Amino acid sequence: MNRRGFLKLAGALPAAGLLPELAWATERKTKNKTEASEKVSSKSKRQKAIVLIKLSGGNDGLNTLVPQRDYAQYAKYRTLAKVPEHKLREFPLDNGMSVNPYMLSLRRWWEAGELAWIQGVGYPHGVLSHFRSSDIWETATNAFEHSEIGWLAQVLPQYKQGLHGIILGEGLGPMAGKDCHTIAMQSPQVFLSQVDLVSDIQPIDRGSSALKHVVNIQHQLHDAGRQLKEKMSNPQHLSGFATSVLGRKLESVAQMILNNVDTAVYKVEHSGYDTHANQINVHNNLLFELAAALNSFGETMKQHGRWDDVIVLTYSEFGRRVQENRGGGTDHGTASVQLVMGGRVSGGRVFGENPRLKDLDGDGNLYMTTDFRAVYGTLASRWFGVNNPWSEFGSVPFV
């Protein structure tokens, strides 16, 4: 069963109100395996975690890291959709690039060596469809391959048993796959209020495969809810978090980390990056929200002694075209940038080549110079310490 089919089938669960709020993708087969997972979890007091933030819509890397040294060439392509040159003095980097000034709240993390940038990230023959390119990024395939298995579903089962990931939002994305135990929810509060509606039903061995699948999912929902309820029964009160939608999502992630929920990945989404018109205002506001949420999340992790246990990584399905359009925006492009933060990040560095504005492809897009699978492989081998399925693409030593 593919992931879209699973989500549709999950909608048949006999629990009123559950359907759009959560999904649990796993095929735990025995009670013994569950008990073994709980034993492993009880020993793991300081679970390392990755926090993935999808910048949905296609983030403009050229207005996130702006070419300060090559500003004259940049300005030839953009009049309305450009960052003013005098603003680039606020957050300069050491490679001729400058961070968008609306992300100034992150400067202290850069100076502390706990934030890094990765430039020119993409894949050969970049696809400009939101859905298709998202699938490529989330399954670690290429422009000519299709897969139903998320990239994290190829890594996390090697790393730990039990719950692998929690998604605050819809869809399993990079954690799709029968061997990856993942919960998708709108929020921990909604999940816990609704999971009580699911009565426990023991897995069955008889009946149709569809019936067994639904019954087993219901049993696993109940089991997951019980475990989360134990961890989140007395959530810590956190203050000072950004009040945006993204800020509230990262506050929920922080609460789960601080309450020692035993999972390895959290994924959230920040929407609105498809900036076809009036880009400069829209994009600046998005980057301001992103930076404020990251700043408050990092500060909370640091205050509670968990910053070394966390890596935050952004990604987007593609970048934007170099030349602005007639609406003062930009159309779908190829290569973009990624931000990575954490106490163990090799920060204060920019990985990858600066954008070559005089050397664009036939569609006027930047060439990718860092394969996104090198980023994934680095996390697999250097963060989780497991086999790297993408070693052929090299690595990016940000950790």
**Tens-digit pLDDT profile for residues 269-296:** 999 999 999 999 999 999 999 999 999 9
- Mean pLDDT for the chain overall: 87
Res 232: pLDDT: 78
- Measured CA to CA, the distance from residue 20 to residue 7 in angstroms comes to 9
Q: State yes or no: pLDDT of 8 exceeds 50.
A: no
Q: State yes or no: pLDDT of 178 exceeds 50.
A: yes
Element of type H or E holding 164? none
Predicted TM-score of the model (pTM): 0.87
- Measured CA to CA, the distance from residue 302 to residue 161 in angstroms comes to 27
**194-206: per-residue pLDDT in tens?**
766 655 566 566 6
Higher pLDDT, 89 or 5: 89
Banded pLDDT at 344 (limits 50, 70, 90): very high
Which percentage of the chain shows pLDDT scores above 70? 82
Reported in sequence order, the residue ranges of 136-293 that DSSP labels E, i.e. its strands, are 165-168, 182-185, 265-271
Higher pLDDT, 21 or 119: 119
Fold topology of 3-40+49-393: Alkaline Phosphatase, subunit A (3.40.720)
**112-137: per-residue pLDDT in tens?**
999 999 999 999 999 999 999 999 99
Report, as an integer, the average pLDDT of 40-51.
Answer: 69
Cα–Cα–Cα angle for 332, 326, 55, rounded to 5 degrees: 30
Which percentage of the chain shows pLDDT scores above 90? 71
Res 169: pLDDT: 94
**197-245: per-residue pLDDT in tens?**
655 566 566 667 777 766 666 666 667 777 787 887 777 778 888 899 9
The strand pairing partners of 340, in sequence order, are 116, 313
Reported in sequence order, the residue ranges of the chain that DSSP labels E, i.e. its strands, are 22-25, 49-56, 65-67, 97-99, 115-122, 165-168, 182-185, 265-271, 310-315, 336-341, 349-351, 370-371
The strand pairing partners of 311, in sequence order, are 50
- DSSP 8-state assignment for residue 110: H
User: Lowest-pLDDT range, 26-35, 72-81, 281-290?
Assistant: 26-35
Res 307: pLDDT: 98
Cβ neighbours around 367 below 10 Å, total: 16
